[in-house]
Structure 1
Amino acid sequence: MSHRFARWAGCACALLALAGCGGPVRVDPPTPDPAAAAACGTLAGRLPATLDGAERVESDPASPYVAVWGAGEIALRCGVPRPVNMAPTDQVPVLDGVAWFSAPSLPTLFTSVGRAAYVEVTISRAHTPESVLMELAAPVKAALPQTG
């Protein structure tokens, strides 16, 4: 198991374990490059207060690159690296104009691809991924231009 896979899997498990706990939800913020950071800053201002019925909550540490809903049921990290397990030949589903990669080994982790920054979304089984990703499509499209 690669170190990166272990880190993503650990993050997903930690978020799911925190669902339902009070206070800020611990999510490690990414460190995007300057171009991605600017795009992520734009996205941060467009994210909804409620996502698939879950209210937005604080993250710890606070970061403009992280958004959390429902006490950790849904977590978004903007400016993450390209998914290492994504092959150039992978078919990536497109929902409302946004392509979302999901590795079969990580069924609750989705990463938008083909945009100015990669956006990673962890979704607990309490939510329907298609609903969450459809609700995120408009802010992602508005804030993150498509790349070549």
Structure 2
Amino acid sequence: MNFFRHRLNTFFGLPVLVLLIGATGCSSADDNASTAVPSPDTKVTELCQNLDKVLPKKVDGLGREDPEPRSALTAGWGSPAIILRCGVERPPKMVDPKVALGDDPDAVGGGVNGVDWLMEKQDDGSVRFTTASRLAYVEVSVPKGRDTSGVLVDLAASVKKAIPKGIAD
């Protein structure tokens, strides 16, 4: 009888195990956003790693959910995710005279809690912010429909602490 019970458990246990493994593959971890990881030089990478260590656990009330692939150069909060990328290239509009003069309605400069940002409206309705006057460029993308007011406020202290003032290049 033990032999029969063992065979029965093996017979029914294997399909259940396969089903469980398949279901785990479709977990919420697959819902994470994905983003391109920047590839800055060694000095900027070190600054970005320092930023990653001091980033807040919540931004605008949303918990941290980092995008794939995992990297100390990227971070995310909420779903759809607010995505931070550190060590990005300088945005072309940052040196555009139209932006400097305030003549480009899709790109505006300004400061929040001691950190200067370039705000660029994207074609998909999202907004991208990039730090200015810092030794590394930090980009923050906020999805369409999400309020941006608390995002930069929540990130300012971390940026000030980890990315010194200066001109990145």
1:25 is aligned to 2:42: no
Choose which of 147, 150, 153 in structure 2 pairs with 1:134: 153
- TM-score under structure 2 normalisation? 0.69
**Per-residue deviation, 1:131:** 1.1
> What is the alpha-carbon distance in structure 1 between the residues aligned to residue 33 and residue 151 of structure 2?
19
Percent sequence identity is 34
Q: Which residue of 2 aligns with 1:50?
A: 58
Q: Which residue of 2 aligns with 1:36?
A: 44
- Equivalent AA in structure 2 for residue 55 of structure 1: G
Larger RCO (CA within 8 A; separation ≥ 6): 1
Gaps in structure 2 of 5+ consecutive residues? 1-26, 103-108
**Per-residue deviation, 1:72:** 3.7
> What is the alpha-carbon distance in structure 2 between the residues aligned to residue 29 and residue 62 of structure 1?
9
Secondary structure at 1:121's aligned position in 2?
Answer: strand
**Per-residue deviation, 1:121:** 0.2
> What is the alpha-carbon distance in structure 2 between the residues aligned to residue 109 and residue 144 of structure 1?
19
Let me know the Cα RMSD of the aligned residues: 1.9
- Equivalent AA in structure 1 for residue 47 of structure 2: A
Residues 1-148 of structure 1 mapped to structure 2, 5 A cutoff = 22-23=28-29, 24-87=32-95, 89=97, 90=100, 92-105=109-122, 108-147=127-166
> What is the alpha-carbon distance in structure 1 between the residues aligned to residue 149 and residue 79 of structure 2?
20
Whichever structure has more helix as a proportion of its residues is 2
Aligned residues: 128
Deviating runs (4+, > 6 A) in structure 1?
none
Q: Please identify the structure whose Cα radius of gyration is greater.
A: 2
